[in-house]
Structure 1
Amino acid sequence: MPSLSNSPAWKQFSQAVLSSPSKPDALRIITAAQLEVDLTTQRSSKELARAAHALLEQQGFEQYRHDLFEGAKINWTENRAAWHTALRAATPPVAVAEAVLTERARLAKFVEEVNACNQYRNVVHLGIGGSDWGPRLAFDSLAGAGTRRTLRFASNVDAHAITAALEGLDAHDTLVIISSKSFTTTESLANAACAIDWLRANGVAYPLDHFAAVTANPQAARNFGINEERIFQFWDWVGGRYSLWSSIGLPIALGLGIEALNEMRAGAAEMDEHFLNAPIEQNAPVQMALSAVANRSVLGYGSFALCPYDARLGSLVPWLQQLEMESLGKATLRDGSTLDVPSSPVVWGMPGTDGQHTFFQWLHQDGKGAPVDFILCAVPDHRHTRHHRLLIANCLAQRAALLEGKSFEQSLKEVTKTEKDPEKAAVLARHHVHPGGRPSTLIVLPRLEARQLGALLALYEHKVFTEGVLWGINPFDQWGVEFGKRLAGDIERRLDALGSDPAVSPYDPSTAYWVRKLASR
């Protein structure tokens, strides 16, 4: 079997990308689940479209997509399905329907009961990674529409996080949720121990009565002491970073209402239908993935920037960092060989217009720059029309400037209006040159509501899945994360036992030095 770079379809795709114009003329906008995805400024041509079809066929895209929705074990290194689409389907697949619908009903009943009793004005959510970013993003994005409860998040093992989350709350009116797929996550359990101490110190006689758990390991939650009726399950066929649609959405239901969680699921399910049934040329996740692979593996961009022009979407950046970089940050193919083209760009960014005053200088005039995903809401949820008009103007202007650039001749013409010395004008004009031809995607939401947010997240999930297929890597494992966890556990044991067991020889000199030095503090 030839390497990817030597395969016929890849060679055709690469050549087509390089020969396609960097400033396309034809408008290319795809409507998907109420979102409009503008790919006009990405590489595009008839030859590239044909080559993309050939590459998708060579890499087995149709079969992988079918397997995703059918619950096949597409997470091949862990011999598991990745069946997050089943969690948001109105009618889940038969094989998991009873389990999914039962947990949905249990969660809804719990929320209804605590609402009816007006319990828990405060909810503290303890999770990390995939158990944290999804609920945190949803709450940050949608809280402007009104919240039922104060909702706080603590993920980091740094105790400053949990103490800040608990500060000022009434312990007797606080529910603590531990969200952990394995229920062995160091950070979440360490923070839970702090929360128990805090509850007890504030006069709560039975702290564990103020806990709920969301986990794929309910027995461990029982052993921890959490009431059976407050343990909500998901399953090993749900990846952590894809688990928002499961009972991991409990804090969303408590903070924003069960309707918000259900609407998010409905929007994601709508995007699932689009991804499954739309033709390739009009399939938004597929076309975004093809552009991403072209930008990274052919054009050599090492990163891409995410710039939502909506302050409420600030948490979308770290959410997508985890989704993209934990899913695609690997280079081993199914047969154990090494991928021989670049994959997994670095994901970074922040909301506009703050980003314009932080890193857009680099985007515009660095020698290489980076592609950008711009996200915009057509209608705001405030009455300040000029603010929104300014936001739209800035978003569209930055995107246009990245594409069009500014030539030396244009710059010189501008500079000579104030600098009459020809030599000085020529030097100064070179500082005003913008290369242009820089790719971007614009995603426009009608407005930021739960359904549209769910569709947006599913759009990126399917984009990442398609990238994994195109590169031939497994987007559902994270062995690098597991390796680091194991080392951290070993070092913690050595820190605890250093007085009796000073052996730190397995580590490099720097690590051994700091283990010895910091253990003495």
Structure 2
Amino acid sequence: MTSLANSPAWKDFCGAVKTSEIGAHALRILDAAGLSVDLSTQRHSADVETAGKQLLKAQGFESARTQLFNGSPINWTENRAAWHTALRATEPPVAVAELIKHERERMLSFVDQANAKNQYRNVVHLGIGGSDWGPRLVVESLTGLTGRRTMRFASNVDAHAITAALDGLDPHDTLIIIASKSFTTTESLANAACATDWLRAGGVKRPLDQFVAITANVKAARDYGIDNDHIFQFWDWVGGRYSLWSSIGLPIALGLGADVFAALLAGAAEMDEHFLTAPIESNVPVQMALSGVANRSVLGYASFALCPYDARLKHLIPWLQQLEMESLGKSTTRDGDTLDVPSSPAVWGMPGTDSQHTFFQWLHQDNIGAPVDFILCATPDHRYNRHHRLLVANCLAQRAALWQGKSYERALEEVQRTEKDPVKASILAQHRVHPGGRPSTLIVMPRLDAKSLGALLALYEHKVFTQGVIWGINPFDQWGVEFGKQLAGDIERRLDALGSDPEVSPYDPSTAYWVKKLAGS
């Protein structure tokens, strides 16, 4: 049995992390692809740096990174490549260059024709998970850059989502995009059926003429009735949650422009180059990954919070939740053994400063708390300078408070200014003590534009990949998701029994009860 916990490299890393200085230490800011990443309040020392390099070596990081970029089957449970880096490379690898360039040219030609004809003032994108969060994040984060079309997204199978997305639009000037890698996704196809009915009810005689499919299953899209010219392909070597860079990015090009999509790819490609070539000690995704592993597996933090201090980045949180938790939410290593150290923190968060009035109390004074990734734009895209100063001040203050904390002596001194009773003052001071020493990372973007956003997303992709290598797990499959889908399909068939007594013995008593209770609903 392969044991990470008992490996010499892991023991050295744990020891170095636990004995590293936890007070304020030297400034540690790394730069990559235009982003500045401040790791000054993460555990670090010369010993941590040395041990981190040895851990990466022991876990085969260099080889795994090479496999990622050269298209080897790094997704070993499905025997597939995970070649999303090829999609944004300036010169894609020869083996897939023609495929990538051809499909991108088709997609951009479709956008150019739609623009030239002034078609599709409205676009409704139907996808879920990786087919939704990426394009939704980019479109809604960068909408202020342009506004050629009204862009709406519907992912949830709850019909309130699709009806809200269609509400108030002109059926004759609306394009429906079905984004599904397999073209069997229940939610997307159910919503597409609603959209078809809506178009037909609005007087559109040939609804499927206003549909586009983005899929790896071209035949299924054709069988659905979508014209070949409206089908855009990506491939099984593109993971769903890494598919933003493929034809899944069509709504970005339609809503924001082809130049914005190109800049997004360029920012990601620049981060790819940094990840591939920068030395370990200055490699930002690698250093963020090592800090993440230290926080989760050594220091015991079960979660981390993502707090972008830019309201436009609200969808970055669910995007990263999927990337981190679907990629790393596993406990089986490559050889089939159970991983013997904690992995995959839960990811949660909210944009600042709303987050400060929601959960920062817990971050500051809970017994354990959680690390925080702060994200800040140096330059805003509005003219309200005081608002931006307030935003920056709050971001930096919260981060400083989490690290510095507040001692009992300092709290007592504050309380004694107004409370003269020494017993009461002592009690009240205890309530104002902040433990401090809580790790965080600050990522500063020059401004929120397509290039910086592309670099940011690729940064997190490579951080997650590196953590997967260290933990020895496959970050590119999602068997837990697939199991839930299988059960849902079976339960739906039983619910369709329309009042008869469906056979529900395979289920636990509670599930069986509700299947019977809700059958025919």
Matching of residues 41-80 of structure 1 within 5 Å: 41-80=41-80
Asked if the contact 1:24/1:43 (under 8 Å) is kept, the reply is no
Residue identity matched to 1:215: T
Matching of residues 366-385 of structure 1 within 5 Å: 366-385=366-385
Identical counterparts, % of pairs: 76
2 CA distance for matches of 1:264 and 1:221?
27
Asked if the contact 1:181/1:216 (under 8 Å) is kept, the reply is yes
2 CA distance for matches of 1:384 and 1:176?
37
Counterpart residue number, 1:170: 170
Counterpart residue number, 2:126: 126
Asked if the contact 1:24/1:42 (under 8 Å) is kept, the reply is no
2 CA distance for matches of 1:456 and 1:147?
23
Asked if the contact 1:22/1:439 (under 8 Å) is kept, the reply is no
Residue identity matched to 2:157: V
Deviates more, 1:493-502 or 1:246-255: 493-502
Counterpart residue number, 1:343: 343
Asked if the contact 1:114/1:120 (under 8 Å) is kept, the reply is yes
Q: Does 1:310 pair with 2:317? A: no
2 CA distance for matches of 1:159 and 1:223?
25
Residue identity matched to 1:515: V
1 CA distance for matches of 2:284 and 2:516?
53
Q: Does 1:426 pair with 2:426? A: yes
1 CA distance for matches of 2:236 and 2:394?
44
Deviation at 1:502, TM superposition (A): 1.8
Asked if the contact 1:494/1:501 (under 8 Å) is kept, the reply is no
Counterpart residue number, 1:117: 117
Asked if the contact 2:496/2:520 (under 8 Å) is kept, the reply is no
2 CA distance for matches of 1:329 and 1:13?
22
Asked if the contact 2:59/2:470 (under 8 Å) is kept, the reply is yes
Cα offsets for 1:79-116 (capped at 9, x unmatched): 00000000001110000000000001000100000000
Counterpart residue number, 1:291: 291
Counterpart residue number, 2:271: 271
Deviation at 1:520, TM superposition (A): 4.7
2 CA distance for matches of 1:139 and 1:11?
44
Partner SS state of residue 156, structure 2: coil
Partner SS state of residue 151, structure 1: strand
Counterpart residue number, 2:415: 415
Q: Does 1:40 pair with 2:71? A: no
Q: Does 1:507 pair with 2:512? A: no
Partner SS state of residue 275, structure 1: helix
1 CA distance for matches of 2:498 and 2:61?
52
Partner SS state of residue 152, structure 1: strand
2 CA distance for matches of 1:13 and 1:458?
26
Asked if the contact 2:321/2:347 (under 8 Å) is kept, the reply is yes
1 CA distance for matches of 2:497 and 2:92?
50
Deviation at 1:496, TM superposition (A): 0.3
Partner SS state of residue 5, structure 2: helix
Report the TM-score, using the length of structure 1 for normalisation.
0.99
1 CA distance for matches of 2:394 and 2:502?
58
Asked if the contact 2:501/2:516 (under 8 Å) is kept, the reply is no
Deviation at 1:24, TM superposition (A): 3.8
Asked if the contact 2:92/2:100 (under 8 Å) is kept, the reply is yes
1 CA distance for matches of 2:498 and 2:142?
48
Deviation at 1:439, TM superposition (A): 0.1
Matching of residues 236-275 of structure 1 within 5 Å: 236-275=236-275
Asked if the contact 2:2/2:337 (under 8 Å) is kept, the reply is no
Deviation above 2 Å: which 4+ runs of structure 1? Answer: 498-501
Deviation at 1:21, TM superposition (A): 1.4
1 CA distance for matches of 2:510 and 2:307?
38
2 CA distance for matches of 1:45 and 1:345?
23
Counterpart residue number, 2:467: 467
Q: Does 1:493 pair with 2:489? A: no
2 CA distance for matches of 1:221 and 1:261?
24
Asked if the contact 2:216/2:234 (under 8 Å) is kept, the reply is yes
2 CA distance for matches of 1:426 and 1:499?
66
Deviation at 1:498, TM superposition (A): 5.2
Report the TM-score, using the length of structure 2 for normalisation.
0.99
Structure 2: give runs of 5+ residues left out of the alignment: none
Residue identity matched to 2:295: N
Residue identity matched to 2:183: F
Deviation at 1:499, TM superposition (A): 3.8
Counterpart residue number, 2:214: 214
Cα offsets for 1:338-359 (capped at 9, x unmatched): 0000000000000000000000
Residue identity matched to 1:315: H
Deviation at 1:127, TM superposition (A): 0.1
Matching of residues 432-443 of structure 1 within 5 Å: 432-443=432-443
Residue identity matched to 2:87: L
Q: Does 1:327 pair with 2:327? A: yes
Partner SS state of residue 214, structure 1: strand
1 CA distance for matches of 2:6 and 2:307?
35
2 CA distance for matches of 1:96 and 1:24?
48
Counterpart residue number, 2:360: 360
